[in-house]
Structure 1
Amino acid sequence: MLSLSTLLILWLTVACRVSSTILQNGQVKPTSYANTLVSLSSRSFTTYPANATEISYQGRWDSKHVSWWSAPGLRFGYTGQTVAISFGNWTSNGVLVAYRIAGLDWMFTNVTTGGTHLLVSPTTPGSASYPRTFELRVTNWALGVQIDAVHVAPGEKLVKLPQNSRRIEFIGDSLTSGMFQSYEGLSGWAYGLGAGLGNTDYSVTAYPGVCAADQNCWGNPRGQVHQWFYTSDTSSRAYAMYGDKPEPWDFSKRPDADLVFVCIGTNDCNAVNNVTSQAYTDALIKIIQGVHGKWPNSQIVVLSLWLGFYKYQNWWYPSAPSCFEKEVYQVYQSFNTEAYLQNPTIYDGMTKKTSQTGNSAKPFVHYFNTTGIMQHNDINPGYHLTDVGSIKIASQLQQYVKLQFGWEFQATGPEVYHDTTYWNDEATY
């Protein structure tokens, strides 16, 4: 077992570095991606500003068009065979982004602060085919990009794409943000569920180390009960830009989420952070009331927590039952009593008040028990999910969403998880 101090050092190391070694079944995985940096002055483009209405931003971006939280992105259609993006000075230098044309597999590149990157050209596979749509996602949860401008070939244009018809919000910590996974946010279960359902916009408002309770946890100055109402996360990057006065998130910018998944509490239950059972319970209740206040018709799913496994003699046992197991379930139950449903309370980030709208006569909080889905080898040495562990959680939740809420699977083939096509084609071995 790693000590808490060792885990903190690991966390701080990952948060501060841009590139790292990825181990794939114990073997070093190549991480040399295409260099797409070009000189803007040496090329001719039709240029659109970052606030062009044709650009659809996914996840949380601030008024400066800086990305925050895990796996934020953008998408648009375009004509011609060229797409380039200029990244502003608030871009984390070298941050890894994933991008693709339409339904083709993800491509990756490290982008440069203040640089312009040519991501699609006539030599890019698939650039001559239709549909010509473009999607970009920031892989990291601590780093981000600033969009300065989007460029297409001279005489060509951007095209606004229709919104997806379904929306999911994820609220969590490192277990939701994709920490320690191969492509971080783009290997996490939250991204896998949102992208895997198809025809769904998703926002992963999650950050490692953060507590539900509003206190400093692992260097995060505020808890999710506070920070969820703001655009930026709890990173040092956010503090460098905004100090203790971040931009409030404008919930009117996007349609309300249909489903909200809440998976938070593993940092609260760590003795180092000294969060009491009552403080955690109060914070989790306020988070749910906050969601209900902003999106009165959203269905909210609270997940039971997991920490990993420990070995005793010749068996592996899950550690999760010690992590607010009863508290999470009791919070779920408290929202489904007749007394509460007849007189619900909402939270606006500062005060509680009686709800005047929404589906107060019907249960809107649900519980998903993760117990038994993962085995010890689905948890990596840093006590976080492996890529396969995330795929298992996402797959189980897909079926849950279909059975509980009637959502049909609408993904039609585009890749969700990159670099997971492992197979054996030897008949005898």
Structure 2
Amino acid sequence: MFLQGFLLACLAISSWASPSSVTPGPLELFGSPRPTSQVKVRNDDPLIFFHGRWDTAPETWWSGSGFKINVQDLSSLTLNLGPNTTAPFVALGVSVDYAPFFTFNATAGANSIPVSLATPKGSGATTVVRFNVEMYANNQMHLESIVLNAGAKLVPYVPSELAFEFIGDSFSTGYTTPEGILQAWDFITGETFKAEESVVAQPGATLVDMESFGNEHGMSFQFFQTEDTGYFYNAKHNFTTPWSFSRDVPERTHVVVHIGANDASQSVNQTVFVNTYIDFLARVRKLYPTQPFFLFTPWGWPNPTGPNAYYYPGAYNSVLAARQALGDHNMFLVNTTGWITYEDVFPDNKHPSVEGHAKIARLFQTWLENWGLHPLKTWSNA
């Protein structure tokens, strides 16, 4: 009886102890379970915001394709990539909370992505992480899953109210710049306007459907396909599949086309080029019935001395006039004459340098603002 009374007294004393003297169990924190395991996100999770063009693997095609995620309480992120990923690596541009992109060379398997912030956030705060394939070749990212730290939670990513569709050739891919699409004028334009952007462009590609500089097809065919022209040399995916434009979310708000240099280089007759362009715009207009189209004229091939060498004189005006004659008054010619000089290009290939692309982006921004489109003040998830 004495022993039983002594034990009861001890229990009573322990119940009077202050809360601070009680150590929580390993799974308790103020009465709530403490997360102990990492969070695995499947590649078909509806909260992953895919942009650009992906096949069913899912695997990226075209420079600038990628995805965005919005994560609550993020502190670590691992990207698990599948066997279709470009070997030995695929160059990815990564941006955390809309900071400037940095390059990460990702390989098949697990890739730990640095997502630490200069200033840690409080509990419940969200972080946006954006991924883009940088290059116009060797640009396959085969997403298998994403692994987040314990306690992290995927929340909806809200897309921008502006969404550009850029269509073109090497001039629109950042051809030979160190960071590819990230340093291209069109991608810079999208970033400046705080917009979503899709780039469907391929170096060496003509508009007319023909073989050109290693491209099996021209853009008048390839634009309507999931795959870029690199499919022809891809042992794991040597075929094309039609692109479902219903997958373009959000719906494009503005369409920009800059093409024709390779047609001229392949000596495509000007009449053939003009007719192909008119037909191409008619097909694209069916996809985007109300959006404004901006058609770039050539800035030409700069020379160290003398004026730029231009191609297809008057052709782009003829294309616009043909569309207007059909009642389409929502297409506009962007006259880029004089935008680029020899100081703005790589001397060995006459394509815009990093500084040249930045100059084009500034000039196009000014053109768009004069037209009536202005950059958004904040990012949609900021």
2:201 aligned to which of 191, 200, 206: 206
Judge conservation of contact 1:305–1:325 (CA < 8 Å) in 2. Answer: no
2:290 aligned to which of 288, 297, 301: 297
Which residue of structure 2 aligns with residue 368 of structure 1?
A: 334
Q: Is 2:303 the partner of 1:336? A: no
The letter of the residue matching 2:238 is G
Tell me, in whole angstroms, the C-alpha distance in 1 between the residues paired with 2:359 and 2:37: 46
Structure 2 unaligned blocks of 5 or more: 1-35
Which residue of structure 2 aligns with residue 175 of structure 1?
A: 171
Q: Is 2:72 the partner of 1:79? A: yes
Q: Is 2:344 the partner of 1:378? A: yes
Q: Is 2:373 the partner of 1:407? A: yes
Tell me, in whole angstroms, the C-alpha distance in 1 between the residues paired with 2:278 and 2:231: 27
Which residue of structure 2 aligns with residue 282 of structure 1?
A: 275
**Distance change (3 Å), C-alpha of 1:239 and 1:286:** farther
The letter of the residue matching 2:171 is L
The letter of the residue matching 1:91 is T
Tell me, in whole angstroms, the C-alpha distance in 1 between the residues paired with 2:296 and 2:100: 30
Tell me, in whole angstroms, the C-alpha distance in 1 between the residues paired with 2:77 and 2:232: 28
Aligned with 2:263: secondary structure?
coil
Tell me, in whole angstroms, the C-alpha distance in 1 between the residues paired with 2:351 and 2:254: 24
After TM superposition, the structure 1 = structure 2 runs for residues 294-333 of structure 1, keeping only pairs within 5 Å, are: 294-311=287-304, 315-320=305-310, 323-333=311-321
The letter of the residue matching 2:366 is Q
Which residue of structure 2 aligns with residue 150 of structure 1?
A: 146
Aligned with 1:389: secondary structure?
helix
Measure how far apart 1:131 and its partner are.
Answer: 4.1
Measure how far apart 1:174 and its partner are.
Answer: 0.2
Tell me, in whole angstroms, the C-alpha distance in 1 between the residues paired with 2:341 and 2:267: 28
Q: Is 2:149 the partner of 1:134? A: no
Which residue of structure 2 aligns with residue 191 of structure 1?
A: 187
Measure how far apart 1:407 and its partner are.
Answer: 2.1
Tell me, in whole angstroms, the C-alpha distance in 1 between the residues paired with 2:301 and 2:120: 44
Which residue of structure 2 aligns with residue 221 of structure 1?
A: 216
Which residue of structure 2 aligns with residue 57 of structure 1?
A: 50
Measure how far apart 1:107 and its partner are.
Answer: 2.5
Which residue of structure 1 aligns with residue 225 of structure 2?
A: 230
The letter of the residue matching 1:188 is A
Measure how far apart 1:182 and its partner are.
Answer: 2.3
**Distance change (3 Å), C-alpha of 1:59 and 1:383:** same
Judge conservation of contact 1:101–1:127 (CA < 8 Å) in 2. Answer: no
Tell me, in whole angstroms, the C-alpha distance in 1 between the residues paired with 2:258 and 2:289: 20
Measure how far apart 1:239 and its partner are.
Answer: 4.7
Aligned with 1:69: secondary structure?
strand
Task: Return the TM-score normalized by structure 1.
Answer: 0.74
Task: Return the TM-score normalized by structure 2.
Answer: 0.83
Judge conservation of contact 2:204–2:262 (CA < 8 Å) in 1. Answer: yes
Judge conservation of contact 1:87–1:112 (CA < 8 Å) in 2. Answer: yes
Aligned with 1:91: secondary structure?
coil
1:395 aligned to which of 359, 362, 369: 362
Larger gyration radius, structure 1 or structure 2: 2
**Bigger mean CA deviation after superposition, 65-74 or 200-209:** 65-74
How many aligned positions are there? 338
Measure how far apart 1:215 and its partner are.
Answer: 0.5
Residues 135-192 of structure 1: CA deviation (Å, up to 9, x unaligned): 1111111122111111111232211211211111000000011101121111001101
Which residue of structure 2 aligns with residue 91 of structure 1?
A: 85
Measure how far apart 1:236 and its partner are.
Answer: 4.4
Aligned with 2:210: secondary structure?
coil
After TM superposition, the structure 1 = structure 2 runs for residues 9-88 of structure 1, keeping only pairs within 5 Å, are: 45-80=38-73, 81-88=75-82
Residues 316-357 of structure 1: CA deviation (Å, up to 9, x unaligned): 31112xx113112211121112xx11xxxxxxxxxxxxxxxx
Measure how far apart 1:294 and its partner are.
Answer: 0.9
The letter of the residue matching 1:330 is S
Residues 40-64 of structure 1: CA deviation (Å, up to 9, x unaligned): xxx9521111111111011111221
Structure 1 unaligned blocks of 5 or more: 1-42, 342-359, 415-429
Residues 110-153 of structure 1: CA deviation (Å, up to 9, x unaligned): 1112x1111145x5545546541111111111122111111111
The letter of the residue matching 2:167 is I
Residues 335-391 of structure 1: CA deviation (Å, up to 9, x unaligned): 112xx11xxxxxxxxxxxxxxxxxx5xx02110011111221101121110111111
Tell me, in whole angstroms, the C-alpha distance in 1 between the residues paired with 2:257 and 2:234: 25
**Bigger mean CA deviation after superposition, 145-154 or 169-178:** 145-154
The letter of the residue matching 1:367 is L
